[in-house]
């Protein structure tokens, strides 16, 4: 059907689709959870906020799990090197995410205020920490991770946990938080009743949007002065998946080269800025649909910017450029990529269809009156 | 690699997987029991069945979230802790995991929200369909994860590629229709159905003993008795089926379970009791029932069950053959066009994994001494005492479950299940047993796979990530603390829900206020 090069390109795009799918769906759940203690002060308000995402967050989280599975299936070397290389960071993310399902379900099981307040903290951590660490991880992917392969393709690391938090990576982390808080605030402006919670959400959303625009711009300037990577010589896009055959080098500002080579790629950062700005206009003018559409487009643009800047690199190595993982040296076999593509083409539309149906069933604003009256609300 | 890194990695995986599987069986079984209960509600329209469904739905929910939460760890733990495994077999192993996400997790996770929040927004039939989708999703997810696990036990449809230094798919159909995976799937989901039946049976029995919530308890018990009898028969009969599949694919596992140190004349006897010793390679105080093992394992009077000593000799031959393959791979790494090396590799590649066993003793397996080869061959024997006893306790519980549900079924049919108190007490006491059996079942399956991560392909000690003991200790402590806390909270919430009973909270009432039973809308 497709040749190996094409399959790899398709799976690179699908990797982006997965990450964007995660940011657009579970992203607002993370943002809402991070906003929870600030936008909602009374218990009924908090329950209202929680119940805006209560029925659907679980399906959204599958984008994250599927991300893990799909990277394993399509990019096994990336799965192996990144998750073991970012070992402790991954543990922190998992621990925070583990608090989430339990927090949603268990918080409402007892009326005790101390109990509920503890779970509010758990939900806040479960929203803020993953949003921050994912951004920090993207920052580290851009600077390159300290790993190398031996002749058997076993991966070794030089880094430590604290070294992950370089100024640039922290900037990426805060940008990620700002982007998802904006997205969460936009979701709340659609889903909660008009009133104090709605007003606070729009205020925090506007601030987060401003911060996101600023950090995205500063990040771009920093990247221009930062080491990027480029492949030396020619590569065989249909060659064996073995990073030891790669020759790569570090070039200052190298991550901007793709935008000069392929000017159409500038659509991605343009979408990042324009979407975020539109979201802020939507929030300011109380146009909830515009706000949510804008924050979605903004998040998609920001994530796509990273992908476009790095292509064909997926995970460069900061200590051994030759160990860097690219679209051409880190994929599964053509057969596996082909099988997984067929499975995706068959099942992704089905998933999207019933997900849309689920949102339609739960359509409408959640009110404090409803959550305190109904037995099924969290 | 540092041996403590391997041991700690194995410890963490065992802890997180065994913990995850405390919650999964109940999810697998209770989801289908909810479908049965709700179907009765939709067909009869009686409110009491709605109450039955909603109460067990509440228990399902408390349990389900921990299954989801701890499942997150599992999806990423191959990458974090077993990165060489992930590289070495990701081409095959990753696919079922990804398909599980796409086909099963989305289904269960999307519909579970509607199951809890959709009672007032969906028609009766619509809600039943939603519940069914949750059950279908959870069980499909078991299918795909067991296809992945079955491949670790019996790695079909794949071959080593020296250019990429990993295993790659040659026949995906063989991976999906792997007979070991099929047998494991049926055995595992049946065990989940048994677990859920025991929980429903036990809690209903507790209420009947206390004389509370009788209409709900009676009906729940009837569903549990019927579903449990069918499932407990299935789990034992199809457990045998997975033992049968072993004789082709994992003879060593069977030999270890049976402590068969040597091939016995056919038909072999089944050892009921004994104390196997790894040091002397014999079993003391053995009590055997003649013929039974041969009949079960080979389905014939003439078939033999190969003993461990004989299997070790075969392993020795495969190691020698693997050494040739290993040497050929080294030459192919230097020059991919080396034709004689390619020919030697093709002839011996199925034994490459056996040569890797030598890496525990020598850096270059091709240069190993005969003594080292013999040592490595004996490494293919898993821990016999653990296998022997874990299997026996598991099987005994399996038979006890059949007895329990057969009794329950008879009593329910005779309408005596509300009055026979010794049975009700036994049903309460039995609640923890399926978990014991299930965890032991995983120990048999995975400890019995040792020393392999992938049977015959990749030894466990080569599969781990190059982490430090300090990192592993940090995460083991973290997971233990987090999981331990959550387990305590979960059990307390379930106990509170059971005490509270199947009434819906009226917002005006304090949470611990019970209305008298007669005031409940229990139209019979």
Question: Which CA distances in Å does A292 have to A27, A296, B141?
Answer: 12, 6, 32
The residue among B341, B336, B338 whose CA lies nearest residue B366 is B341
- Record: contact B109-A58, CB cut-off 8 A: yes
pLDDT at B514: 41
- Best B27, B77, B331, B465 member to test A by mutation, with max A CBs in 10 Å, is B465
A-facing residues of B in 368-407 (CB < 8 A) are: none
Q: Tokens standing for A108?
A: 């409402």
Q: Among all residues of chain A, which has the CA nearest to that of B122?
A: A361
pLDDT tens sequence across A178-206: 999 999 999 999 999 999 999 999 999 99
B-facing residues of A in 120-139 (CB < 8 A) are: none
Q: Tokens standing for B50?
A: 């709605």
The residue among A5, A1, A9 whose CA lies nearest residue A240 is A5
Residues on chain A touching B90 (C-beta within 8 angstroms): 72-73, 76-77, 79-80, 332
Answer for the pair A107, A50: CB distance below 8 angstroms, yes or no: yes
Query: B276: part of which helix (H) or strand (E)?
Result: strand B270-277
Q: What is the 3-state secondary structure (H, E, C) of A1-39?
A: CCCHHHHHHHHHHHHHHHHHHHHHHHHHHHHHHHHHHHH
pLDDT at B283 over 70: yes
pLDDT at A285: 92
Q: Tokens standing for B469?
A: 């003991």
Give the count of beta carbons closer than 10 Å to the beta carbon of residue A222: 16
Question: How far from the centroid of its chain's Cα atoms is residue A287's Cα?
Answer: 25
**Which residues 6+ apart lie within 8 Å of B7 measured at CB?**
none
Arithmetic mean of pLDDT over chain B: 91
Assign residue A133 a region (left: φ > 0; alpha: ψ between -120 and 50; beta: otherwise).
Answer: alpha
Answer for the pair B260, B381: CB distance below 8 angstroms, yes or no: no
Q: Is A354 on the interface with B (CB under 8 A)?
A: yes
What is the model's pTM?
Answer: 0.93
- Record: contact A332-B467, CB cut-off 8 A: no
Question: Which CA distances in Å does A213 have to A49, A174, A225, A301, A339?
Answer: 26, 12, 19, 12, 40
**A237-241, B5-9, B117-121, B246-250, range with the lowest pLDDT:** B246-250
Q: Round to whole Å and give the CA distance between A92 and B478.
A: 9
Q: Among all residues of chain A, which has the CA nearest to that of B89?
A: A76
Residue A230: φ, ψ to 5°: -145, 155
Cα of A372 to nearest chain B Cα, Å = 7
Residues on chain B touching A84 (C-beta within 8 angstroms): 79-81, 83, 465-467
- Record: contact A73-B90, CB cut-off 8 A: yes
Is B226 within a domain? Answer: no
Please give the average per-residue pLDDT across B1-10, as a whole number.
90
**Which residues 6+ apart lie within 8 Å of B422 measured at CB?**
none
pLDDT at A376: 83
Pairing mode, strands B458-459 and A147-149: unpaired
Is B218 within a domain? Answer: no
Please give the average per-residue pLDDT across B459-463, as a whole number.
96
- Record: contact A335-B172, CB cut-off 8 A: yes
Q: Is A96 on the interface with B (CB under 8 A)?
A: no
Q: Round to whole Å and give the CA distance between A230 and A248.
A: 6
pLDDT tens sequence across B298-320: 777 777 888 999 999 999 999 99
Q: Round to whole Å and give the CA distance between B505 and B512.
A: 9
Arithmetic mean of pLDDT over chain A: 94
For residues B473 and B370, membership in a common domain is answered with: no
Q: Among all residues of chain A, which has the CA nearest to that of B467?
A: A84
Is B56 within a domain? Answer: yes
pLDDT at B513: 37
Pairing mode, strands A313-315 and A248-252: unpaired
Please report, rounded to a whole number, the percentage of residues in chain A having pLDDT higher than 90.
Answer: 89
Q: Is A369 on the interface with B (CB under 8 A)?
A: no
pLDDT at B505: 59
pLDDT at B306: 87
Question: Which CA distances in Å does A93 have to B59, B173, B341?
Answer: 27, 35, 46
Please give the average per-residue pLDDT across B100-119, as a whole number.
95
Is B54 within a domain? Answer: yes
Question: Which CA distances in Å does A153 have to A150, B3, B33, B83?
Answer: 5, 20, 47, 10
pLDDT at B249: 61
Please give the average per-residue pLDDT across A280-288, as a whole number.
93
Please give the average per-residue pLDDT across A61-68, as a whole number.
94
CA angle B222, B228, B229 (to 5 degrees): 95
Q: Tokens standing for A147?
A: 């790993």
Q: What does chain A come to in residues?
A: 378
Please give the average per-residue pLDDT across B379-392, as a whole number.
94
Please give the average per-residue pLDDT across A127-150, as a whole number.
95
Q: Round to whole Å and give the CA distance between B9 and B491.
A: 28
**A28-42, A233-247, B130-144, range with the lowest pLDDT:** A233-247
For residues B354 and B448, membership in a common domain is answered with: no
For residues B42 and B154, membership in a common domain is answered with: yes
Cα of B218 to nearest chain A Cα, Å = 25
Q: Tokens standing for B118?
A: 């959709």
B76, B168, B504: residue with CB nearest A90: B76
Give the ipTM.
0.94
pLDDT at B240: 66
- Record: contact B69-A102, CB cut-off 8 A: yes
pLDDT at A227: 92
Cα of B249 to nearest chain A Cα, Å = 25
End-to-end alpha-carbon separation of chain A, Å? 48
The residue among A295, A48, A50, A296 whose CA lies nearest residue A194 is A48
Q: Which of the listed residues B362, B378, B394 is the one where a domain comes to its end?
A: B378
> B370-378 vs B308-334: helix axis angle to the nearest 10?
120
For residues B469 and B369, membership in a common domain is answered with: no
Please give the average per-residue pLDDT across B204-217, as a whole number.
94
- Record: contact B118-A106, CB cut-off 8 A: no
Q: In which band, very low, low, confident or very high, does the pLDDT at B519 lie, cut at 50, 70 and 90? A: very low
- Record: contact B79-A80, CB cut-off 8 A: yes
Buried-state track A93-124, b at ≥16 Cβ within 10 A, e below 16: bbbbbbbbbbbbbbbbbeeeeeebeebbebbb
Q: Among all residues of chain B, which has the CA nearest to that of A86?
A: B80
pLDDT tens sequence across B12-65: 999 999 999 999 999 999 999 999 999 999 999 999 999 999 999 999 999 999
Is B160 within a domain? Answer: yes
Q: Is A84 on the interface with B (CB under 8 A)?
A: yes
Q: Is B69 on the interface with A (CB under 8 A)?
A: yes
Is B46 within a domain? Answer: yes
- Best B165, B329, B464 member to test A by mutation, with max A CBs in 10 Å, is B165
Q: Which of the listed residues B333, B357, B378 is the one where a domain comes to its end?
A: B378
Structural domain span for residue B323: 308-378
Answer for the pair B257, B387: CB distance below 8 angstroms, yes or no: yes
Q: Tokens standing for B41?
A: 């509600």
DSSP label at residue A366: B
pLDDT at B507: 42
Q: Round to whole Å and give the CA distance between A272 and A214.
A: 12
Q: Round to whole Å and give the CA distance between A165 and A82.
A: 16
Please report, rounded to a whole number, the percentage of residues in chain A having pLDDT higher than 70.
Answer: 100
pLDDT at B242 over 90: no
For residues B19 and B126, membership in a common domain is answered with: yes
Answer for the pair B318, B354: CB distance below 8 angstroms, yes or no: yes
Residues on chain A touching B71 (C-beta within 8 angstroms): 65
For residues B16 and B161, membership in a common domain is answered with: yes
Cα of A355 to nearest chain B Cα, Å = 6
For residues B345 and B447, membership in a common domain is answered with: no
> B433-447 vs B384-413: helix axis angle to the nearest 10?
150
Q: Among all residues of chain A, which has the CA nearest to that of B326?
A: A152
Residues on chain B touching A74 (C-beta within 8 angstroms): 94, 98
Please give the average per-residue pLDDT across B345-349, as a whole number.
95
Answer for the pair B74, B121: CB distance below 8 angstroms, yes or no: no
Q: Which residue has the tokens 């000593």?
A: B309
Residues on chain A touching B118 (C-beta within 8 angstroms): 55, 361-362
Q: Round to whole Å and give the CA distance between A145 and B97.
A: 26
Which residues, listed in sequence order, are joined to residue A148 by a DSSP beta bridge? A156
Q: Round to whole Å and give the CA distance between B205 and B413.
A: 16
For residues B186 and B75, membership in a common domain is answered with: yes
Is B423 within a domain? Answer: no
For residues B359 and B447, membership in a common domain is answered with: no
Q: Among all residues of chain B, which has the CA nearest to that of A111?
A: B511
- The larger pLDDT score, comparing residue A1 to residue B304, is at B304
B86, B164, B333: residue with CB nearest A79: B86
For residues B366 and B458, membership in a common domain is answered with: no
For residues B352 and B461, membership in a common domain is answered with: no
Q: Is A360 exposed, middle or buried (0-12, 13-18, 19+ CB in 10 A)?
A: exposed
Q: In which band, very low, low, confident or very high, does the pLDDT at B246 lie, cut at 50, 70 and 90? A: low
CB pairs under 8 A between A and B: 252
Quote the number of domains for chain B. 2
- Record: contact B101-A98, CB cut-off 8 A: no
Count the helix, strand and coil residues of chain B and give each as a percent rounded to the nearest 5: 75, 5, 20
Residue B382: φ, ψ to 5°: -75, 180
Give the count of beta carbons closer than 10 Å to the beta carbon of residue B422: 8
Q: Round to whole Å and give the CA distance between A310 and A254.
A: 9
Is B344 within a domain? Answer: yes
For residues B448 and B320, membership in a common domain is answered with: no
Count the helix, strand and coil residues of chain A and give each as a percent rounded to the nearest 5: 75, 5, 20
Q: Is B116 exposed, middle or buried (0-12, 13-18, 19+ CB in 10 A)?
A: buried
Question: How far from the centroid of its chain's Cα atoms is residue A94's Cα?
Answer: 14
pLDDT at A377 over 50: yes
Q: Is A159 on the interface with B (CB under 8 A)?
A: no
């Amino acid at each position: 059907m497709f040749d190996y090069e094409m399959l790899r390109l398709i799976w690179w795009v699908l990797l982006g689709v997965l990450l964007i799918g995660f940011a657009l769906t579970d992203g607002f759940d993370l943002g809402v959870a991070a906003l929870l203690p600030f936008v909602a002060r009374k218990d009924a308000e908090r329950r209202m906020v929680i119940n805006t995402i209560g029925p659907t967050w679980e399906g959204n989280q599958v984008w994250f799990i599927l991300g893990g599975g799909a990277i394993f299936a399509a990019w096994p070397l990336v799965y192996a090197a990144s998750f073991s290389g970012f070992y402790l960071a991954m543990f922190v993310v998992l621990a925070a995410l583990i608090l989430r399902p339990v927090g949603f379900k268990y918080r409402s099981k007892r009326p005790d205020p101390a109990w509920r307040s503890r779970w509010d903290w758990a939900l806040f951590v479960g929203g803020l920490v993953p949003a921050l660490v994912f951004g920090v991880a993207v920052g580290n992917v851009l600077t390159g991770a300290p790993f190398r392969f031996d002749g058997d393709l076993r991966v070794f690391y030089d880094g430590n946990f604290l070294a992950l938090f370089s100024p640039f990576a922290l900037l990426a982390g805060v940008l990620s938080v700002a982007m998802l808080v904006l997205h969460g605030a936009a979701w709340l402006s659609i889903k909660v009743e008009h009133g104090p919670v709605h007003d606070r959400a729009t205020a925090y959303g506007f601030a987060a949007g401003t911060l996101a625009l600023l950090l995205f711009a500063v990040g771009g300037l920093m990247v221009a002065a930062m080491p990027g990577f480029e492949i030396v010589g020619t590569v065989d896009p249909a060659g064996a998946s073995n990073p030891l055959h790669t020759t790569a080098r570090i070039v200052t500002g190298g991550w901007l080269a793709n935008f000069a080579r392929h000017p159409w790629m500038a659509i991605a950062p343009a979408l990042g800025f324009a979407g975020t700005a539109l979201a802020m206009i939507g929030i300011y003018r109380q146009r909830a649909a515009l706000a949510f559409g804008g924050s979605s487009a903004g998040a998609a643009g920001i994530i796509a910017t990273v992908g476009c800047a790095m292509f064909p690199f997926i995970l460069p190595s900061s200590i051994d450029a030759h160990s860097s993982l690219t679209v051409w040296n880190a994929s599964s076999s053509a057969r596996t990529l082909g099988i997984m593509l067929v499975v995706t083409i068959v099942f992704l539309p089905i998933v999207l269809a019933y997900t849309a149906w689920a949102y339609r069933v739960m359509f409408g604003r959640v009110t404090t009156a409803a959550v305190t009256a109904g037995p099924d609300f969290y | 690699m540092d041996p403590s890194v391997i041991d700690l990695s194995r410890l963490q995986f065992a802890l997180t997987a065994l913990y995850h599987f405390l919650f999964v069986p109940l999810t697998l079984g209770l989801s289908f029991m909810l479908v049965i209960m709700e179907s009765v509600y939709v067909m009869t329209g009686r409110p009491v069945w709605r109450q039955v469904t909603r109460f067990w739905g509440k228990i399902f929910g408390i349990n389900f979230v921990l299954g989801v939460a701890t499942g997150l760890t599992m999806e990423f733990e191959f990458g974090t802790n077993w990165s060489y495994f992930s590289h070495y077999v990701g081409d095959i192993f990753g696919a079922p995991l990804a398909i599980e996400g796409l086909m099963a997790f989305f289904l269960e996770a999307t519909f579970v929200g509607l199951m809890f929040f959709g009672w007032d927004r969906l028609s009766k039939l619509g809600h039943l369909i939603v519940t069914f989708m949750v059950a279908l999703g959870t069980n499909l997810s078991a299918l795909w994860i067991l296809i992945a696990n079955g491949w670790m036990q019996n790695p079909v449809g794949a071959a080593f590629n020296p250019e990429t230094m990993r295993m790659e798919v040659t026949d995906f159909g063989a991976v999906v229709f792997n007979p070991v995976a099929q047998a494991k799937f049926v055995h595992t989901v049946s065990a989940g159905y048994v677990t859920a039946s025991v929980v429903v049976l036990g809690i209903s029995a507790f209420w009947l003993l206390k004389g509370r919530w009788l209409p709900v308890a009676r009906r729940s018990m009837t569903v549990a008795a019927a579903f449990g009898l069918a499932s407990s028969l299935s789990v034992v009969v199809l457990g045998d089926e997975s033992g049968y599949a072993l004789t082709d694919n994992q003879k060593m596992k069977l030999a270890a379970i049976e402590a068969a140190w040597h091939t016995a004349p056919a038909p072999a006897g089944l050892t009921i009791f004994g104390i196997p010793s790894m040091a002397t390679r014999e079993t003391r105080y053995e009590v055997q029932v003649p013929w039974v093992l041969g009949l079960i394992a080979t389905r014939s009077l003439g078939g033999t069950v190969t003993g461990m000593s004989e299997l070790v000799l075969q392993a020795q031959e495969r190691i020698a053959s693997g050494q040739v393959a290993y040497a050929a791979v080294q030459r192919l790494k230097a020059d991919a066009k080396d034709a004689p090396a390619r020919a030697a590799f093709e002839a011996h590649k199925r034994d490459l994994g056996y040569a890797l066993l030598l890496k525990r003793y020598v850096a270059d397996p091709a240069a190993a001494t005969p003594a080292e080869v013999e040592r490595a061959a004996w490494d293919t024997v898993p821990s016999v005492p653990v296998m022997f006893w874990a299997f026996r306790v598991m099987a005994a519980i399996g038979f006890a479950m059949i007895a329990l549900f057969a009794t329950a079924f008879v009593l329910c049919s005779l309408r005596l299940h509300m009055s026979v108190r010794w049975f009700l007490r036994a049903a309460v006491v039995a609640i923890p047993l399926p978990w014991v059996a299930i965890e032991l079942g995983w120990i048999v399956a995975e400890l019995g796979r040792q020393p392999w991560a992938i049977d015959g392909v990749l030894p466990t000690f080569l599969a781990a990530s190059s982490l430090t003991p300090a990192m592993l200790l940090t995460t083991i402590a973290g997971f233990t603390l987090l999981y331990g806390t959550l387990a305590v909270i979960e059990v307390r919430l379930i106990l509170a829900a059971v005490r509270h009973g199947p009434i819906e909270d009226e917002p005006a009432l304090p949470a611990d206020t019970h209305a008298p039973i007669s005031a409940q809308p229990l139209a019979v």
